[in-house]
Structure 1
């Protein structure tokens, strides 16, 4: 079955270019010209991936991204932001809104296709049926579910992969570059700062009320999953 990609873009010429190149690569496409239509289609069609323009009429791409991540039915759909904004602060805003990747316009069709394939590969849930446990956190790799104590923890696909990797190596310190290779893959260029953004999102989801922070920041080294005080 062909992977389904929802293109959310109001520039007709760019939609035509995206459709031509992605259909040639074997994808099935859906189109939305504004944020409201995108939210409806995402709910109804459950695409495998969403290409989301930042600047949209009615509802901005960032707002769409946040709403998709808050909704149980759509929170795990991978999202790639498309935007002409190239400043680092803009990239951080995009990632913190819930996007899994970020492509700055103008981009080549080859780069876009590579990014799409890489994000889709990373989004495939593990099928081993294994459950990972550390302290009061459990990760069901097959069901793609996370629990901390008695509550469910809702994570986006990138945060899920990041936590799963740390859970498989408790106590080990990983540099940003090592996490990029393990979670994002060797074949995709992502800035090291991206790791910090997703770590913040992961911490926010894991830590509620008085729960201890099990993700340790090691200055000038990276991050590890560890018991507090270690």
Structure 2
């Protein structure tokens, strides 16, 4: 068993049936929706651990659905993975920007998808680092919040984990491979642009100078007053 509840959102019945059959074999409680409004309603009621979300839906775009779900405090720990036929870089970047944990291009390989979810869930259940404070940014690991100059905010889980990692050892340069291993897991396959997207979002929210790019190596947190 890799989890308890999973919500599958897709307007193609064959895909829903295939995925539902696969995850029922994993002893998961499976819920499904074929449009965005229904998906939001089910997610807010059932609080699934995993949400598989198509981008192109008949009513609300999947990106909008993801953005709406990430506003709900009860869903902050839910894994959201996009499953889409759209494999363009800009689509994947948009998915990460609205808070997705992963973006998978169809056709989906069930064994790979199952392993991705398993690894992400395992990492989610690991003990978080303690509270961390810099000159003007503080992280509350228990409440999953980040405060800058006293203003508190909730950010997507992967952004939170990435910022926590970098802030845990200020001035340490984390190699890209090291970040991928610690945040996404060695068994998880993510796109080359994944780290860049999350770094960009953190800079947009907390300042362009808090994370420095060390060309050809990786990134480090700089405690700028």
Residue of structure 2 in register with 1:22 after alignment: 23
Residues 6, 29 of structure 1: 8 Å contact kept: yes
* 1:90–1:29 distance in 2 versus 1, CA, 3 Å: same
SS of equivalent residue, structure 1 residue 70: coil
TM-score w.r.t. length of structure 2: 0.91
Q: Which of 208, 212, 216 is the equivalent residue of 1:220?
A: 216
Residues 10, 56 of structure 1: 8 Å contact kept: yes
Residues 4, 49 of structure 2: 8 Å contact kept: yes
Instruction: Give the whole-Å Cα distance in 2 for the aligned partners of 1:98 and 1:127.
Output: 19
Residues 51, 82 of structure 1: 8 Å contact kept: yes
Residues 49, 77 of structure 1: 8 Å contact kept: yes
String of CA shifts for 1:1-28, please: whole Å, max 9, x gaps.
9521111111111111111111111211
Residue 161 of structure 1 and its aligned partner are, at CA, apart by: 0.8
Instruction: Give the whole-Å Cα distance in 2 for the aligned partners of 1:213 and 1:39.
Output: 36
Residue of structure 1 in register with 2:175 after alignment: 175
Residues 9, 54 of structure 2: 8 Å contact kept: yes
Residue of structure 1 in register with 2:87 after alignment: 86
Residue of structure 1 in register with 2:106 after alignment: 105
* 1:116–1:196 distance in 2 versus 1, CA, 3 Å: same
Residue 127 of structure 1 and its aligned partner are, at CA, apart by: 5.5
Residue of structure 1 in register with 2:150 after alignment: 150
Residue of structure 2 in register with 1:118 after alignment: 119
Instruction: Give the whole-Å Cα distance in 2 for the aligned partners of 1:39 and 1:228.
Output: 39
Residue 93 of structure 1 and its aligned partner are, at CA, apart by: 2.0
- Greater than 4 Å deviation, 4+ residue runs: none
Instruction: Give the whole-Å Cα distance in 1 for the aligned partners of 2:153 and 2:170.
Output: 19
Residues 125, 144 of structure 1: 8 Å contact kept: no
Residues 154, 205 of structure 1: 8 Å contact kept: no
Residue 171 of structure 1 and its aligned partner are, at CA, apart by: 0.6
* 1:16–1:51 distance in 2 versus 1, CA, 3 Å: same
Residue 140 of structure 1 and its aligned partner are, at CA, apart by: 2.2
- Aligned-pair Cα RMSD in Å: 2.0
Unmatched 5+ stretches in structure 2: none
Residues 36, 59 of structure 2: 8 Å contact kept: yes
Matches within 5 A, 1:1-20: 2-20=3-21
Deviates further, 63-72 or 156-165: 63-72
Residue of structure 1 in register with 2:159 after alignment: 159
Residues 153, 205 of structure 1: 8 Å contact kept: no
Residues 125, 142 of structure 1: 8 Å contact kept: no
